[in-house]
Structure 1
Amino acid sequence: MTRVVFTELLGGGVFTVGDDLDPSSLEPVGNGRLGGPSGPAVDVTGAVLVADLEGDAVALAEHGGGWQHFGTPGVGVGELHRPTAAAFLPAGRLVVLDSGNRRLVVVDDVSGAGWTTYGHPGLSPSEGGFVDPRGLAVDASGRMWVSDPGAHRLTRVNSPAGDGWVEIGLPAAAHPPIPYGLGARGDGVVLVDAGNARLLVLEGDGTTSASVDLADGTWVSPSFVASVGGNLVVGDAVANELRLLEPVAGSFVTVAVLRGSPPDVLQPLFDSLGGVGS
């Protein structure tokens, strides 16, 4: 069974669950809670990688193991500032969306060796410039996609050197796009456009192959998304729930829901979603 990983931003927990969202398959990850886990990813071995927003670090847990940490607060080598997402690259390398420093950070492993950065603060839509990057996905070809709601754009780069930078055009809509949640899907991605309450499935060349309306009255604040096989898992941050969506007739429909508990419950199942990944 494929596992989905998700985080509690406030509760500090990280969990995996089966791709059918069966509550009986829910399992905690690591050996304790983190300061503000966000933007998680899981690899084929079951290792889980998360950005620790409040800890200015990233954390990695091998399958069944405890947390290994990397990063200290700051702007220099080995330093991060409010990272929001992390992902696995080919050959086992790691990439972190260092949002507070408006850059991508690539390292060989959780030791921080092989430190490389790409990007800079960009108040205008300049190449390599980020305003408020939030979502990160690595596609099947190893390309890195970044959602930047502050700049109203989605970008893609081919490598840590920044070659192949391109802004991905999104379909016209009633409001300016606010690209937010992002998940890899083959050579493309699936994206939550919070500005237009829609889910976009984008192919590797940036074209849109499907669009799902999230303004049907059943969602509160859909924020995060991951692709699992042909299905999607969408996290609604305010409703504190995960939904499993299956493709039907060119769109997607909800077939399962995993709902957490309010944070004031003595022992909540989970609270305050901070990201979902696969």
Structure 2
Amino acid sequence: MRGVLDGNRRSVCAGDQTHLMASLVFTELLGGGVFEIDAGLDESSLRTLGGGGLRGPSGPGRDPSGAVVVAEITGDGIALADQGGAWTLFGTSGAGDGQFRRPAAAAFTGGGMVVLDSGNCRLVFLDDIGGSGWSTYGHRGMPSATNPAVGAYADPRGLAVDSSGRIWVADPGSQRLTRIDRSDGSGWCRISLPPASAPSLPYGLCAFRDGVLVLDVGNRRVLVVDDVDTVEVALDDPSIVSPGFVAAVNDDDIVLADLRANELRLVQFDGAGFVDVARLRGSPPDVVVPLFDSIGGVGA
């Protein structure tokens, strides 16, 4: 595997520049479960969050207090659980206030939360799980050679809030990564991704250092975008069968979700490149009842 990260720097969580997460959260898309596991992917540390199953839980977000917010991609809503608490649900199906259509991811902001309402091609901003402070940004659209389609999304899938509170969206439908500074869309920009053998398809996203990690599923690579929009290839590994999501844990550890293998894969920067540290597979061939039946997203 090829890597270019500087091991002297460390990952951070949105809204807390000093807190290092020692675990990660991931969702079980078909089975409806949401799990937390120690960063080393030790199976004995696997635990269920929120109690009962959700309806197609997708990209999860977590804040330093331990609260978790999850998008229900088949339930057209969102769910929130405080640390050790049960799920509180919000949302109905539609395109109006208090409504979602196939939301793909959710994350905490400094004063509330943001939801990637994928089916409605918009971002939804909320003060709390009750829906107060509802506002939206974005619309359906596709850029062209003469129209940059500012604020438009074609099929947005990845969401991240960086340490400065900026909101990043990966939109494989338009083959682009975009960012806004605030909920009103100010500071909108498109981030140019480095050329590769296949068209770039940014999909999974997570906050990392002062920017983000981007999973380019079209080329099976992980990109690092820093605070001045410099993009580097952090990991380029054709052995990843079907990568979908990425999370940063501890200093320079990365967890990849391989969707076809139904596997979480922990890789670590060793000074020269990335090495495999641990793997956790949901459905080994010799296990009748899997640990998890599919992966709908990961978050740290």
Please give the TM-score of this superposition, normalised by the length of structure 2.
0.88
Residue identity opposite 2:242 in structure 1: S
* Structure 1: distance between partners of 2:98 and 2:287: 38
Using the TM superposition, give the Cα deviation of residue 85 of structure 1 relative to its aligned residue in structure 2, in angstroms: 0.2
Q: Is the 8 A contact 1:101 1:121 kept in 2?
A: yes
Following superposition, the deviation at residue 101 of structure 1 comes to: 0.2
Q: How does 1:131-146 map to 2 (within 5 A)?
A: 131-146=154-169
Amino acid in the other structure paired with 1:20: G
1:31 aligns with 2:51: yes
CA contact (8 A) 1:42 1:48 kept: yes
Counterparts of 1:264 and 1:66 in 2: how far apart (Å)? 33
Match of residue 28 from structure 2: 8
Deviation at 1:211, TM superposition (A): 2.6
1:237 aligned to 2:256?
no
Q: Aligned-pair RMSD on alpha carbons?
A: 1.5
**Structure 1 counterpart of 2:248, from 205, 208, 227:** 227
Between the aligned partners of 2:278 and 2:176, the Cα distance in structure 1 is 31
- Classify the secondary structure of the residue corresponding to 1:15: strand
Which runs of structure 2 are paired with 1:58-73 in the superposition (5 Å)? 58-73=78-93
1:110 and 1:83 mapped to 2: Cα distance? 15
Structure with the greater relative contact order (CA < 8 A, sep ≥ 6): 1 or 2?
2
Q: 1:131 offset after TM fit, Å? A: 0.2
Unpaired runs of 5+ in structure 1? none
Structure 2 counterpart SS, 1:151: coil
Structure 1, residues 192-216: CA drift from partner, whole Å, max 9, x if none?
111111111111222124431121x
1:19 Cα offset (Å): 1.0
Report the identity percentage. 56
- Paired with 1:71 and 1:143, the residues of 2 have a C-alpha distance of 24
Matched letter for residue 241 of structure 2: V
Correspondence for 2:110 among 68, 71, 90 = 90
Distance 1:95 1:273 in 2: 21
**Which residue of structure 1 aligns with residue 274 of structure 2?**
252
Task: Indicate whether 1:201 and 2:224 are aligned.
Answer: yes
2: CA distance between counterparts of 1:152 and 1:35?
A: 28
Asked if the contact 1:263–1:271 (Cα under 8 Å) also holds between the matched residues in 2, the reply is no
Q: Identify which range, 66-75 or 226-235, moves more after superposition.
A: 226-235
Distance 1:263 1:101 in 2: 38
Residue-pair matches, total? 275
Q: How many Å separate the matches in 2 of 1:59 and 1:250? A: 40
AA aligned opposite 1:85: A
- Segment of structure 1 superposing worse, 254-263 or 160-169: 254-263
Identify which of 122, 126, 149 aligns with 2:141: 122
Instruction: Tell me what 1:180 maps to.
Output: 203
Q: Distance in 1 between matches of 2:126 and 2:104?
A: 16
Does 1:101 find its partner at 2:120? yes
TM-score calculated relative to the size of structure 1: 0.95
Whether 1:21 aligns to 2:41 is yes
Shift of 1:262: 5.8
